[in-house]
Each structure stands twice: as C-alpha cells, then as structure tokens.
Chain A
Amino acid sequence: MKGKKKTMPKNDVHEEEAPLPSDKVPSPSVSDSDSDYEDSSADDDESSVSLDSQSESEFEEGSPENGRSGDLEAEGTESSVDEDIVNGEGSGNESSDLHQPGAESDSSEDEVAPRNTIGDVPLKWYEDEPHIGYDIKGKKIKKKEKQDKLDSFLANVDDSKSWRKIYDEYNDEVVELTKDEIKLVRRLLKNQAPHSDFDPYPDYVDWYKWEDAKHPLSNAPEPKRRFIPSKWEAKKVVQYVRAIRKGTITFDKPKEEDGPYLLWGDDSGSTEKSNHLAYIPAPKQKLPGHDESYNPPLEYIPTQEEINSYQLMFEEDRPKFIPKRFTSMRSIPSYENAMKESFERCLDLYLCPRVRKKRLNIDPESLKPKLPSRKELKPYPITCYIEYKGHEDAVTSISIEASGQWMASGSSDGTVRVWEVETGRCLRRWEVGEAVSCVSWNPLPDMHILAVSAGQDVLLLNTGLGDEELQNQIKELLWIDSSTASDDSGDKAPSVSWLKDDKHMGLRLRHFKTVTAVEWHRKGDYFSTVMPTGESRAVLIHQLSKKLTQKLPFKLHGLAVRSTFHPSRSIFFVCTKKNVRVYDLLKTKVIKKLDTGLREASSIAVHPGGDNLIVGSKEGKMCWFDMDLSSKPYKILKCHPKDINNVIFHRTYPLFASCSDDCTAYVFHGMVYSDLNQNPLIVPLEILRGHTSSNGRGILDCKFHPRQPWLFTAGADKLIKLYCH
C-alpha cells in the first residue's frame, strides 16, 4: 500500500501514461484463506492487517470523500475490506475455540488435549518415577507396563500397521499416524509445502478496476508550458550554433577508406633507394621438383625400407619431404605444414642476415691449374722394374755409383751391400756391426769409395771395383798411419778420430755423437757429416786427402738435420729443423737464410743448377725455394699424409722426387728456366707405389739414377726397388 502512495506524485506528471504496472504493487496480505495451513503462519500478518484496516476504516468513517487521493484510498480500503471479511471468518473460527493461545497450531485443536500436564520439562526427571506426570486434575498418570522387547517385536511383526505407529514418550502411548499425516510427512521430506493444495506462485489478482473509473487519476488541466517551445532549449541551440560557427565544436569527419592509387608512375626509372645501404632482395624460394608432385613418377617414391632407414639418419640429414602418390586430384588432402612453412619463410625474411654469396657455377675441373700433359713430360719413372732382395731389415739408405752401374745400400741389420743395378746381383757385403744410417758413394767415377755412417762411426770403404791402378790409388788414399791419428785438433778435445779399420780395409772416423748423414763434395775430396745432437760441432767437414776434420765456423741455430754442398760453387747448405742456412765457404759467411715455415724439416736437395732447392718435412709438405726469388718458399706441395723421408733432384732430367712413410714416392717434373723472369714449372707426374709399411715406416730413401730417369727406393720392408720409365 505504501508503494501505491509513493506513485501518487508521479501520477499527475504523467497523466497520459498508464496508471501503473500492477506488478509493482506489493500484496503481502493477499493469500487464499481457504488453506488452513496458511493460517498459522499468516496469523501475525493478519493481526497487523486488521489493525491497519481498523485505522483505515476509522479514517474512512471520518472523511468518506477525501479529495484527490481519496480514490486511491478507496481502492486501498476496498482491498482491506475484503481482507477484513476473510479475517472475520478466520477470527470467527478462532473465537469458537476456548482461550487457546494464538501460537497453538490448528492441528492440536483436532486432537484430544494431552493428558499429561507436566509441561516442557525434561522427561529425564520422570525416568525413575512410576508415573509419567499428572493429568488435568492433578492425578498421577501411571506408566504403562513395559513390554518385553521380544514381545514387542513379535507384536510389531504381526501388526501390519506397525510402521505407521509412533511411540509418544510424553504421553506414554503409541500413536498411529493417519494417512493424511503420512502424506504430510512425505511432502516435508521432499522439501515441499506440507499441503498439496498450497500454490507457492499464485496468479496476481489486480483488485483495482482500471476501466470504467469515473475520474482520471489526476483531474488537473494540461499546463500551458506543455504547448510553448522551451526558451531554455532555444538558448542552448543558439549556443551550439554559435560554437559550431566559431569552430569550437568540431565533428568527426566521415571515415574515408584510403584505397589504392597509382603508386608507381611511368617515370619511375630515375628514382632510387634513399638510403645508400646495399639492398639485397630476399632469395626466391626453391621451385618444386618432380618429387613434390601429387602424382610423381614411381621411381621418385622411396620404398618402405628407405623410409624406415630415414629414422636411423641424423635429424638434419633426414629428408624434409617424403614424396607420396595420389591416384586422383580429388584425393589430395590438405597440406598440414602449409602454415608452418609459410611462417618459417616469414622468419627467414626478417631474421636472417642477407649476404651475397658468390655461387660458383663452374665445372670443378676448371679450378685445377692448367698443367702440361704428363705425356709430354716423359720420360719419368712409372713402373717397378727390379726388386733387390737380400737385406734382413729395413733398408735405410742407398747410393748410386757415379757411372750408374753400381748401387750401395745400408740397412738397419748392420750390413752394407753393393748391387749391380741392371742385374740385381749382390756384389759385396760388409758386416758393419751397427745399424747403418747413411751410405754415400764418392761422386768421382774413378774413386770407388763408399762412406757409411753407422752409429757414431763413419766408415770409408774400398769397394774393390776398378782396375789395378785405381785400386792402388784408393788404397793409398785410405791408408793412414796410426801414429798420426787424432792429432789434428790439438788444443780442443778431439771431435773426430781417424782410425784405420783393418777388418774392412778402410778408414774409420770415430765421432763423439751419432752420425745421421754423410754427404760428399762434388770433387770427392771433402765430405760432411751431420750429428744432430752435436750442438756447436753438429756439422763437420772432413778432407779425405789430408785426413783433416773441420768444424763449421758458424753458429747453428736449431738442430741440424741435413747438410749438402752446392753442385758447382763453394756453397754449403745446412738444413735445421725450421730453416735452411746457406754459407759461402770461401768467404766464411752466411749468404742466406731460408725460412721454410715447416714444423720439422727432414731432408734437403739442391737443384743441379744450384739456385733452387727443395726441403721435405715431417708433416708431409715439400717446399720449393727459388733462391733468386725470395727466402720464402716459391711453392709448398702438400702431397704426403705422412713424414717425408727424403727428397731428391735428378742430375740431368728435370725431375725430382719425394718419398715418404706412407709407402709412396712422388715423382715431379721440375723445370727451371734460364730466363729469370720465368718461374720454375712444377708438374706432379706419378705416384709410385709398391712398398709395404713395416713398423709404421714406409720408404726410407730414394735416389735417382745418374743418367737414366730411373728412381731407386729403399723401403722399410727390406726391399729396394727400381722404377723405370
């Protein structure tokens, strides 16, 4: 009712509107009165309503027609009157009962009044008493006799209605529930209203009669202002108009879609990039081949085994795409990696640095230097012609006699042998006793003297070749007075003692350290020996005719490896581990120092012209020095995978060779031109194979035949081989 009153002031404003949506009107008092269950709960309400209605009825009595609001009031009272009637009935019922308290429920009215009158006290108090309480007249009510449990159970079993019986402790009696009561209990268990005919959502009944009302809610005449244009609004409009004219109010421009236009005119040839950085366009994606076809040729489809074998491959080696075949276009599925590949392309486009890589689209053969054909450079050794067998251990060194008829070889079994080259016959054999490290034949054709280094000794042997006269000369040369021995270096400790060797009919030069190499001077009178560990006296030069020994008058830098004489001038080369020093023996000074750049040089050979030399190293590299050109190598040839043991020039043919522990010997064409402007021509010619490795060593020495283009190789496999053209 209050809500209705609130709407009152609104009513006169919106007259033409519908009075009020009826839903808003609260109706607490309206309920169907015929459900007796409701009554108990509604009791409080009823009382208040009745109060209200009383007051209102009074009000009504006081002023039957009460102005404008009277209509509404009337309406309100009408409803309340209705309710009053209902209440009246209810109260009539109630009043018929004896002075029962209002809180007592209806249900209790139907039953017989409880015979016990102890009230709401704990029943525990009467537990031990013989009575349960007192009746209305104050008499004790006796307890019933307790039934035996068994009996009661049996009674229960017998009684079909036992399930609806409840023991009432208060009254000490058994109550049997009626059907209606059980229904009620059931409904309560289901959380429903106890009475089935109670409707929790009744339809709203609008008690006010809207039609046929004699008067409108407001009888006031329409005010004038409703018909006059608003001044205030006009003012506001003027304000806006002025603001717009002034430009203080701006409107959002209609959005213009900037579509494409002619961005590139015709004269775009002249324009160029504004920034002067090199722009590299992204490389185009690789075009697909046959294998990406939906229906590739059958040979492009890998077999199942091949596909399985991809699993064993490394991740990056695995093919990215496995060809598949579909018999019709309709059966092609959508490609699952389409997005991924597109995304990867995007990443490549903006995350990869772009570098212009020169792609050599050339025949790899064209990279090779233009070399003259090998056939034009013949003759050179090609095939193995003779094998010299006989040594019982690795042949460490060989040497060819100047005429080319004889060859001497030294082995680590302690023997020196002389062979006839063309037949392979072993002519002589000496037992030296120690492993031979180097043999060297006197370069003079008449002097058949062999220098052999074994251990700390150097032996000069008379080979017994040649006629009587020569033999006499040699014998004379090799004769030494035992008294004159070791007096040549008076003040210093004797580095070498010249001794007579009776066993081999020769001379024995006893050194203080192990000798590794012996090299003759071209005139056959001098020879040099190298003792790598000899420090300042590592390289010695001996004179055979005078039986003299000289120390090299220079300081050596590094470990001496080899030494050799210049083929025509009095120049001496000493090869140390890192570099080669060239001495002028007459002027006694260093002419040149050649920087090899090698880790460890092992051998040296001088071109017969004298201006070029090659150095072999233990890392398998060979350096060609052109001494007129520079002190750096003219060419470095990396051909052997293992140590180079010896390098050698041919005396007459433009050939040179290297032999190595990898059991191969390389033969090169090395032409040196007399024209200084022309660089030496080096052409690799042949790889000579045939030796076998033993104890990790291959070919230990190689020598050219002095006249023919033949190469002798001495292997660690006890063999000497002769390669002919």
Chain B
Amino acid sequence: MVKHYRPPGKKKEGNAAKFVIRSQALKQLQISLPLFRKLCILKGVTPREPKKKFKGTHQTYYHVKDISFLHHEPLVEIHRAIRVHERKIKKAEAKKNHERANRLREKTPKPKIDRIIRQRYPRFVDALGELDDCLTMVHLFAALPATESKKIEVECVHKCRRLAHEWQAFISRTHKLRKTFVSVKGIYYQAEVEGQMITWLTPHSLQQVVSDDVDIVTMLNFLQLYEPLLSFVNFRLYHSINLKYPPILDPRLEALAADLYALSRYVSSNTGLSVVNSEASQVESEHLETKQREAESGNETSELRLAQLQHQLPSNEPGALMHLVEETGEDDDDLDTKECKNLFKNVKFFLSREVPRESLLFVIPAFGGIVSWEGEGAPFGESDQSITHQIVDREAQGHRFLSRDYVQPQWVFDCVNARMILPTDNYLVGRIPPPHLSPFINYDEEGAYIPDYAKTIKNLQAAARKEVLPLPGVGNEDLEDPQNLLVEGIIGRAEANEAAQRKQKMMILEQQYHDDLKKELKGVTYTSAGSKETSGAVQTGESATNVEENPGDDMGKIMMSRKKRKLLEAMQISNKRKQAQIDLIKHRKKKIDEAQS
C-alpha cells in the first residue's frame, strides 16, 4: 500500500485510528475518571489489545467505537444532571435551606439500567450465561454488614438478600440445582437453567469483614448493574413458571425481619460504649441474628408455599389449556431434573440449631426432600415420628430418637453430588466424616489423581445401578451396548471379563514371541521391521517401545519449525508441572498409608 502524505492532525490510519488511550477518551467524553470507570462497568466496555501499542505498553487502549458509543450514552447526560443536582443540594445545605435540599435530593435523576441490560444481553440466555459473577456478588453483599463508613446502605443489603432468596427459591422450586460444594471460601452451588450452567459462591453465614484495601465504590458500581439484572432475570424466571413477581410475602414475617434488621444495625452501631454494654449487645445481636435467620427462612418457606399455591391456581380457571401446556412442560423435564427431584423423595429432615440452616433449607427442597428446623415457624417439630434423618453437627444430644439417623450436614452435600443416598455410617455424629470432594473435577482426564473416596462412591453408584464395574484394561465396547448388559446379566459379564483377560494374556505372549523374533532378525536383515510396528500398541510392549522412542522424540523435535517447537516445549513444561502436582499428592498419599499401616 502506498503511503500518501498526510497533513499533521488530519486523518489517521491503522491502530492509531482505531484505538484511543484512556486519557484521550476522558478528554473526548469530558468526564472524570471515576465516572468513566462507572460507565465502563455499567456498559461493559473493556480495554482492548491493539496489535501495535502506539502510545506505549503501559497505556490502556479503548476502541474508538466503544468510546463513541459512550459518548452518545444517555447515562452521561444523567450523570451530569446528577452532578448539577449535587451542587444545588450543597448550596441549599450551606444556606440552611433544608427544605429545598430535601426536595432536590428527592428529585435527583436516577440512571435507568434496564435499557443497558437489554443492550448488553439481547437474549435471555446471554444474561444467564454471565450470571455467575452477578450471583456471587449479590450473595456476598447479602452477607455484608451495613456500614455507613463503607457506604453500604441497609436498603442495599436488604435488597440483595431479597434477590438472593428469590433466586434460591426459584432454583429450589424448579429442582434446577445440580452440584454443591462446601469449601473454605463458602458454599458453591451449580444450577442448570435453560441449558446454562450457573455456578455461584455464597459466603458462610458468618460476619464478613470489609477490609480497607478494597475499593468499595467499584464494587457498588458493579452492584448497581447486578441488582437490576438479577431482578429482571428473576422476573423472567418467575414469569416462566406463571408466578407473580415480586412475590407477595407474609407481611408479618417480612415486617419482623425488617424491624429486626434495623434493630440489629442499631445495636451494632452502638457497640463499644462500654464493656458491659457491648457484651450485652453482642449477646443480643447474636440472638437477633439467629432470630433474623429464622425469619428469613420463614420468608423463604412462605415464598415456597405461595409458589405452590399459585401453581395450583390455573387448574380452577377456564384456561385449562394453559395448565395442560404447563403440565406437559413439566413432563418434558430432562432426566437430570427428574433425578434431582426424586433424590430425597422419601426422606424427611430435621435440622438442629448448629447446622447451616440457610444452605440446607435451600438444598434439601431442591432435591425433593422435606425439611424442618428448630425454631419458630417450623412446619413440624423435632418429635415428629416420620423424620428419617436429623442433621446434627454437635455430639451433645439430649433425647435421641431411635427411628432416625443422626448425620452430619456433609452427608446431604455428598448425597447431592453423588446423586444417590449414601450410607450414613461414616457420617454419623461424633465420627470424622470422609473427605468432602469437589464435584467439579473431571476424572476422565488422563493421569488425573482419583482420591480413594471418589472410587468408593463410584463403586456405590455402580452397585446402585446393579452393575459390575468394568475391570481396568478391558475395552468399553461391551459396556456401551445396554441391551447386551440387560440380557447377559452379571454372570455373563463376568464371563466376558474372563474371556477378555485370556485374550489379553494371549496377546502378551504373542508380543513376546514377536520381540524374540525381532531380536534374532536384527543381526541379519533389516527389512521386516516395519510390519511388526503396528502391534506395538499392545500394553506390554509399551515399556520397551517407550525406551526406544524417547530419543526418537528428540529427533522429531529437530524437524519442527521454531514456532511449533516452542509451543511443544511450553506444553511439555506445563504438563510436567501438572504431573509433578499429581505426583506430589500421590507421594503424600503413600506416606499417609505407610504411617497408618
């Protein structure tokens, strides 16, 4: 391409025409940096990576188009108006004109987020696909203490909590929860909504600390987007199961919760007056918290009740067709959902005081279980004879019912992950439970380390399906044919296994024979070596071929182009690192086993 002379300050071409650095963008938009950041967060504008960084590598580059979209964004205007209002309010306050200040404060324009959400997520599926961060953030804020110094307002926390509960209620009601994992960081949940796997993290229900090295303003900006996003998503989801949104809750419970919340906040703000006071207030606040949780769980259950009620409504109405459609819709549920729905079908739970109630109240109904708890508003009491499992996390027990199992809460989570009711022996109170494994690990990967307990669970699952687990080393072709399985039954399979073993032995022998032959031949002729190569894939031959191949590997490397060679080296290094990690774990396991035996 011919480069023409371009007068200075005229048109640009290439990267310089496509990208601007941040300070240029600020100048163009005529806004402050914090506002720019906020806009970027709300609009989802991220820096780009130009091929050539024409202003230096330390700069952040934005696409010109992104910036021009921001330029035409009504949000900018609204924020300018907000700033004007703030100035007016300040002036009114300075002149002691509180009435005017209050009026102005009320009339401050508010940015509308719905349009932006629609723009960012044109389809509902898009929104669901990016809901992970949103849910995690909302759940985190729902657990935060409202502090004035950190600008976390009570309403904000309250709204987050409401939204989180609404979401959980939907997931639980529609049995969309798939996996749970109790980690040190909190409890991970994975749900499948409209084909999208959504994973989120809820912190443990303990007091969270807002550290100072966190810029809360940024997080609040994100929350400003996430709150409406989740409410719109909830609306759509509730709409999809013919429910009114927002759900109308039992006003008594709601009022109770709100009151208690305000009270607890008041208490927390007044702590530190004196030792006695603070102690007293601590006790009080603890008490309040538990009460509050109860109230919340009450909320949740009431929601559920409401949901069920409304669910039944359409059948009485003339539009029975709609109901029919819905019924079929329910029947359409995929296998997973059905499985999840029926996991705890015949199980009745009772939660003791010390177990994480909020989480279990969410998980157990999601898998079809019936649950009650100790405290006000519980559907049934501890003395109910039909309770099959009582979830307990403390050894000291008052009265023990013989008709039920006393298990640790981990049992519920492990059952959910294994999709079967595990034997409760290991999980009984007072015993150290077996390790809690992550359900997100894929063992199919080659060379992955499988913990012992994962193996036992796999065996149990197989036993539940009345199968004999395939012996390692046998091809899976028989397994894949389900009819074969059914016809032959267990005995047939065992026979097949034996046959396979015999076959394998034969192959080993054959291979050995070939090897011998080869050794003989080596001295004389060099012709027939190639034909035997194909049979080298048999397992026993592997070790021998490996040794021979290793220098060959190096040889292959010589022939590669530099780019590919570097790539290969990088891959090898990363593989080696992974392998080292696995080896380390295996080594530790070996040591532990040795110490135990």
Name A's B-contacting residues (CB within 8 A): 252, 255, 258-264, 268-269, 271-277, 281-282, 284-285, 287-290, 292-300, 303, 323-324, 326-330, 332-343, 345-347, 349-355, 360, 364-365, 367-369, 371, 373-376, 378-379, 635, 637-639, 666, 682-687, 725
> Do A299 and B585 have beta carbons less than 8 Å apart?
yes
> Do B185 and A292 have beta carbons less than 8 Å apart?
yes
- The answer to whether the Cβ of B588 comes within 8 Å of any Cβ in the partner chain is yes
Residues of the A chain whose Cβ atoms lie less than 8 Å from the Cβ of B228: 260
Residues of the A chain whose Cβ atoms lie less than 8 Å from the Cβ of B393: 328-330
Query: Whole-angstrom distance between the alpha carbons of A548 and B48 in the complex?
Result: 73
- The answer to whether the Cβ of B311 comes within 8 Å of any Cβ in the partner chain is no
> Do A294 and B533 have beta carbons less than 8 Å apart?
no
Query: Whole-angstrom distance between the alpha carbons of A179 and B181 in the complex?
Result: 88
23 contacts between A and B (CB under 8 A): A261-B235, A263-B232, A264-B123, A264-B127, A274-B119, A285-B133, A289-B440, A290-B441, A295-B436, A297-B452, A298-B435, A330-B354, A332-B184, A342-B136, A342-B137, A343-B215, A349-B222, A350-B45, A350-B218, A367-B571, A373-B529, A373-B530, A373-B533
Query: Whole-angstrom distance between the alpha carbons of A277 and B232 in the complex?
Result: 25
- B574–chain A nearest beta-carbon distance, Å: 9
> Do A332 and B204 have beta carbons less than 8 Å apart?
yes
Q: For A279, give the chain B residue with the smallest CB separation.
A: B44
Interface residues of B in 266-301 (CB under 8 A from A): none
- A374–chain B nearest beta-carbon distance, Å: 6
Beyond A334-B208, A368-B560, whether A259 also contacts B246 by CB under 8 A is: yes
Residues of the A chain whose Cβ atoms lie less than 8 Å from the Cβ of B40: 350
Q: 7 closest A-B pairs (Cβ-Cβ)?
A: A334-B206, A287-B440, A684-B555, A299-B589, A264-B124, A375-B529, A368-B556
Query: Whole-angstrom distance between the alpha carbons of A327 and B409 in the complex?
Result: 12
> Do B218 and A299 have beta carbons less than 8 Å apart?
no
> Do B123 and A268 have beta carbons less than 8 Å apart?
yes
Query: Whole-angstrom distance between the alpha carbons of A257 and B3 in the complex?
Result: 58
- The answer to whether the Cβ of B176 comes within 8 Å of any Cβ in the partner chain is no
Interface centre among B119, B219, B435, B586 (most CB of A within 10 A): B435
Interface residues of B in 340-371 (CB under 8 A from A): 354-356
Query: Whole-angstrom distance between the alpha carbons of A410 and B37 in the complex?
Result: 77
- The answer to whether the Cβ of B578 comes within 8 Å of any Cβ in the partner chain is no
Say which residue of B69, B103, B208, B436 sits within 8 Å of A275 (CB atoms).
B69
> Do B435 and A295 have beta carbons less than 8 Å apart?
yes
Residues of the B chain whose Cβ atoms lie less than 8 Å from the Cβ of A264: 118, 121, 123-124, 127, 232, 236
Contact with A along B378-397 (1 / 0, CB 8 A): 00000000000000011000
> Do A334 and B572 have beta carbons less than 8 Å apart?
no
> Do B184 and A294 have beta carbons less than 8 Å apart?
yes
Give 15 A-B pairs besides A297-B452, A346-B219, A368-B553 with Cβ atoms closer than 8 angstroms: A259-B231, A260-B228, A260-B232, A272-B122, A277-B65, A285-B136, A293-B183, A328-B433, A329-B182, A338-B208, A339-B209, A343-B215, A355-B49, A365-B553, A374-B555
> Do B124 and A369 have beta carbons less than 8 Å apart?
no
Query: Whole-angstrom distance between the alpha carbons of A365 and B552 in the complex?
Result: 12
Say which residue of A285, A339, A352, A378 sits within 8 Å of B208 (CB atoms).
A339
- B594–chain A nearest beta-carbon distance, Å: 12
- The answer to whether the Cβ of B224 comes within 8 Å of any Cβ in the partner chain is no
In the complex, identify which listed stretch (B74-82, B93-101, B106-114) lies at the interface while the others stay far away: B106-114
Interface residues of B in 112-144 (CB under 8 A from A): 112, 114, 117-119, 121-124, 127, 129-130, 132-133, 136-137, 140, 144
> Do A343 and B214 have beta carbons less than 8 Å apart?
yes
Query: Whole-angstrom distance between the alpha carbons of A686 and B550 in the complex?
Result: 12
Residues of the A chain whose Cβ atoms lie less than 8 Å from the Cβ of B433: 295, 328
Beyond A284-B132, A292-B185, A360-B567, whether A335 also contacts B219 by CB under 8 A is: no
- The answer to whether the Cβ of B41 comes within 8 Å of any Cβ in the partner chain is yes
Query: Whole-angstrom distance between the alpha carbons of A273 and B136 in the complex?
Result: 26
> Do A352 and B354 have beta carbons less than 8 Å apart?
no
> Do B46 and A353 have beta carbons less than 8 Å apart?
yes
- A526–chain B nearest beta-carbon distance, Å: 36
- The answer to whether the Cβ of B328 comes within 8 Å of any Cβ in the partner chain is no
> Do A376 and B124 have beta carbons less than 8 Å apart?
no
Residues of the B chain whose Cβ atoms lie less than 8 Å from the Cβ of A276: 65
> Do B210 and A339 have beta carbons less than 8 Å apart?
yes
Query: Whole-angstrom distance between the alpha carbons of A272 and B125 in the complex?
Result: 12
Q: For A296, give the chain B residue with the smallest CB separation.
A: B435
Query: Whole-angstrom distance between the alpha carbons of A289 and B432 in the complex?
Result: 21
Query: Whole-angstrom distance between the alpha carbons of A685 and B188 in the complex?
Result: 54
Residues of the B chain whose Cβ atoms lie less than 8 Å from the Cβ of A327: 432
- A639–chain B nearest beta-carbon distance, Å: 5
Residues of the A chain whose Cβ atoms lie less than 8 Å from the Cβ of B127: 264
- A616–chain B nearest beta-carbon distance, Å: 14
Interface size, B (range): 35 or more
- B560–chain A nearest beta-carbon distance, Å: 6
Beyond A259-B246, A350-B41, whether A290 also contacts B438 by CB under 8 A is: yes
Residues of the A chain whose Cβ atoms lie less than 8 Å from the Cβ of B588: 298-300, 303
> Do A292 and B119 have beta carbons less than 8 Å apart?
no
Residues of the A chain whose Cβ atoms lie less than 8 Å from the Cβ of B560: 367-369
- B247–chain A nearest beta-carbon distance, Å: 12
- A201–chain B nearest beta-carbon distance, Å: 31
Residues of the A chain whose Cβ atoms lie less than 8 Å from the Cβ of B564: 367
Residues of the A chain whose Cβ atoms lie less than 8 Å from the Cβ of B562: 638
Q: For A339, give the chain B residue with the smallest CB separation.
A: B214
- A249–chain B nearest beta-carbon distance, Å: 14
> Do B118 and A263 have beta carbons less than 8 Å apart?
yes
> Do B203 and A258 have beta carbons less than 8 Å apart?
no
Say which residue of A260, A273, A374 sits within 8 Å of B245 (CB atoms).
A260
Query: Whole-angstrom distance between the alpha carbons of A200 and B144 in the complex?
Result: 56
- B115–chain A nearest beta-carbon distance, Å: 9
> Do B69 and A290 have beta carbons less than 8 Å apart?
no
Interface centre among A334, A351, A682 (most CB of B within 10 A): A334
Beyond A296-B435, A335-B203, A375-B533, whether A288 also contacts B555 by CB under 8 A is: no
- B138–chain A nearest beta-carbon distance, Å: 11
Beyond A261-B235, A334-B204, A339-B210, whether A345 also contacts B133 by CB under 8 A is: yes
Interface centre among A330, A337, A355 (most CB of B within 10 A): A330
Residues of the A chain whose Cβ atoms lie less than 8 Å from the Cβ of B408: 328-329
Q: For B68, give the chain A residue with the smallest CB separation.
A: A275
Beyond A329-B410, A340-B211, A343-B215, whether A273 also contacts B122 by CB under 8 A is: yes
Residues of the A chain whose Cβ atoms lie less than 8 Å from the Cβ of B2: none
Residues of the B chain whose Cβ atoms lie less than 8 Å from the Cβ of A343: 214-215, 218-219
Contact with A along B393-410 (1 / 0, CB 8 A): 110000000000000111
- B426–chain A nearest beta-carbon distance, Å: 12
Residues of the B chain whose Cβ atoms lie less than 8 Å from the Cβ of A364: 568, 571-572, 575
Residues of the A chain whose Cβ atoms lie less than 8 Å from the Cβ of B314: none
- A582–chain B nearest beta-carbon distance, Å: 26
> Do A346 and B222 have beta carbons less than 8 Å apart?
yes
> Do A330 and B355 have beta carbons less than 8 Å apart?
yes
Residues of the A chain whose Cβ atoms lie less than 8 Å from the Cβ of B568: 364, 367-368
Q: For A287, give the chain B residue with the smallest CB separation.
A: B440
> Do B208 and A292 have beta carbons less than 8 Å apart?
no
- A253–chain B nearest beta-carbon distance, Å: 10
Beyond A263-B117, A330-B393, A335-B184, whether A342 also contacts B438 by CB under 8 A is: no
Q: For B433, give the chain A residue with the smallest CB separation.
A: A295
- The answer to whether the Cβ of B541 comes within 8 Å of any Cβ in the partner chain is no
Residues of the B chain whose Cβ atoms lie less than 8 Å from the Cβ of A281: 129-130
Query: Whole-angstrom distance between the alpha carbons of A682 and B452 in the complex?
Result: 49
> Do B436 and A296 have beta carbons less than 8 Å apart?
yes
Residues of the A chain whose Cβ atoms lie less than 8 Å from the Cβ of B489: none
Beyond A260-B245, A277-B63, whether A376 also contacts B236 by CB under 8 A is: no
Q: For A370, give the chain B residue with the smallest CB separation.
A: B556
Query: Whole-angstrom distance between the alpha carbons of A300 and B183 in the complex?
Result: 14
Residues of the B chain whose Cβ atoms lie less than 8 Å from the Cβ of A261: 114, 232, 235
- B45–chain A nearest beta-carbon distance, Å: 8
Residues of the A chain whose Cβ atoms lie less than 8 Å from the Cβ of B121: 264
> Do B106 and A252 have beta carbons less than 8 Å apart?
yes
Q: For A285, give the chain B residue with the smallest CB separation.
A: B132
> Do A297 and B123 have beta carbons less than 8 Å apart?
no
